[in-house]
Structure 1
Amino acid sequence: MFRWLASDRNRYHLRARSVVLSSDEIIEVRAAQRTFEGAYVRTALSQFSFALIVLKVFTAEFYSIGALFAVYGTGVLFISLYRRHQGNRQFFSEVGEDGLHRRKFRTSGNAVIILTALSVAAYAGLIVLTLNLAQ
């Protein structure tokens, strides 16, 4: 019923074009998707779970901390969507100055920088909210 052609087996489909990848590159793409996309989603779910526990178990003084973790989880979820979007464009071709076509790979450094900034902001907010509880 479904028959894969050998030429289609190592083809990474992008929106308007396809890039032919080797078996090793296909394995790298799949491993990155399993590892990083799953990690972002698991982190977002754990932040939502912690926010729910804080909101349900603790008193009203801790609601701001629960809301902070809910916002942080939402931010991580949006970053995971952004990283997935960028991951679909990691492989591209470029014509060099000498006229040769070169295959390029772009890392997901932008998503890491955004996640780092979000995490620093969230933990700074957590410190401020915790210090406000002590007063």
Structure 2
Amino acid sequence: MFRPHPEESMHLRLHRARSVVLTSEELVEIRAAQRTFEGAYMRTALGLFSFSLVILKVFTEEFYPIGALFAAFGTAILLVSMYRRYQGHRQFFVTESPDGVLRRKFRTSGDTVLLLTALSLCAYSTLLALTWRLKDM
């Protein structure tokens, strides 16, 4: 229940994550990962929110479910970006096991990609169903 703060258990070059001084190469690597992953997910979520607002403001009531779908999809991508950020912090540091051994575990972002793929397939299949339903109206 009472676990130490993650920055206390993660280490880089035998320093705690909270007090480590990064080299310029490490800073470049971290900034590149933030631009690539966090920025891309955030831009996508903001784009989906904007598109949902356009649909809700410009079109008639028949299109409201499509606008709500894009708003929900934007929220889901925002949550995925938070999960990806949580995972990204673990890629640069090593963790200390309960027996005191420092271990480096590299994890790819494959599970994030699979999660985003599943969310996208669900959202676009729902969009297809909503568009098909519009044809019948």
Give the shorter-chain TM-score range.
Answer: 0.7 to 0.9
Partner of 2:17: none
SS at match of 1:105: coil
Question: Percent identity among equivalent residues?
Answer: 59
Aligned residue-pair number: 118
Partner of 2:7: 15
Query: Quick check: 1:94–1:102 contact (8 Å CA) kept in 2?
Result: yes
Whole-Å separation in 2 of the counterparts to 1:113 and 1:92: 24
TM, length-normalised to structure 2: 0.76
Give the structure, 1 or 2, with the largest relative contact order (CA under 8 Å, sep 6 or more). 2
Partner of 1:55: 56
The CA RMSD over aligned residues, in Å, is 2.2
Change (3 A) 1:89 1:101: closer
Counting strand residues as a fraction of each chain, which structure ranks higher? 1
1:1-135 paired onto structure 2 within 5 Å = 15-16=7-8, 17-20=10-13, 24-93=25-94, 103-135=104-136
TM, length-normalised to structure 1: 0.77
Question: Mean Cα displacement is larger for which, 84-93 or 39-48?
Answer: 84-93
Query: Quick check: 1:55–1:63 contact (8 Å CA) kept in 2?
Result: yes
SS at match of 2:7: coil
Query: Quick check: 2:11–2:94 contact (8 Å CA) kept in 1?
Result: no
Whole-Å separation in 2 of the counterparts to 1:34 and 1:101: 29
Whole-Å separation in 2 of the counterparts to 1:116 and 1:106: 18
Gaps of 5+ in 2: 1-5, 14-21
Whole-Å separation in 1 of the counterparts to 2:86 and 2:104: 19
Deviation for aligned residue 1:29 = 2.4
